[in-house]
């Protein structure tokens, strides 16, 4: 029987440029119930709480607008979790990004990339 190894996602897999002195980064709270999130997860901020969740394709509470990317893994399965996010002035590779469960096709990913661009995060195709 073959063994399958899963390699963790590292920030260097997707973060290609950020501003000096950690200007690109912020601290954030990932909302309880978001689950186990890996580095590179595209996030949205819920308007009512200010907490972040994996970006969704639809919604009306802010979760439908991609605004940041998770820098390091977090476990927000059962409780809110503190996190470091990339929120501005960065260039990232599309290849290392992870999307919420409702962002399932190229059109929805392109929409999320446009939203990230509005936040100052450029998503580049390729490595």
| In contact, 72 and 39? CB cutoff 8 Å | yes
CB-based contact 45:52 (threshold 8 Å):
yes
- Domain extent at residue 101: 11-124
Residue 118 lies in a domain: yes
Structure tokens at 49: 């709480």
The pLDDT value given to residue 13: 87
**pTM for the whole thing?**
0.92
Whether the Cβ atoms of residue 98 and residue 42 lie closer than 8 Å to each other? yes
Instruction: Express each pLDDT in 29-63 by its tens digit.
Output: 999 999 999 999 999 999 999 999 999 999 899 99
Spell out the SS3 assignment of 12-64: HHHEEEECHHHCCEEEEEECCCCEEECCCEEEEECCCCCCEEECCCCCCCCCC
> Is 4 a member of any domain?
no
What are 67-109's pLDDT values in tens digits? 999 999 999 999 999 999 999 999 999 999 999 999 999 999 9
Domain count of the fold of the chain: 1
Q: Is residue 52 situated within a structural domain?
A: yes
**Per-residue pLDDT reduced to its tens digit, 7-22:** 788 888 899 999 999 9
In this predicted structure, the answer to whether residue 127 has a pLDDT above a threshold of 70 is: no
């Amino acid at each position: 029987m073959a063994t399958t190894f899963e390699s963790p996602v590292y920030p260097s897999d997707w973060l290609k440029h950020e501003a000096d002195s950690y200007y690109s980064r912020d601290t954030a709270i990932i909302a309880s119930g978001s689950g186990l999130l890996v580095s590179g997860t595209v996030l949205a901020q819920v308007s009512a709480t200010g907490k972040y969740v994996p970006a969704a394709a639809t919604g009306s509470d802010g979760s439908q607008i991609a605004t940041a990317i998770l820098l390091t893994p977090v476990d927000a399965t059962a409780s809110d979790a503190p996190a470091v996010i990339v929120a501005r002035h960065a260039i990232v590779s599309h290849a290392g990004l992870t999307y919420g469960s409702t962002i399932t096709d190229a059109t929805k990913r392109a929409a999320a990339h446009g939203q990230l661009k509005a936040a100052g995060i450029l998503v580049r195709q390729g490595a």
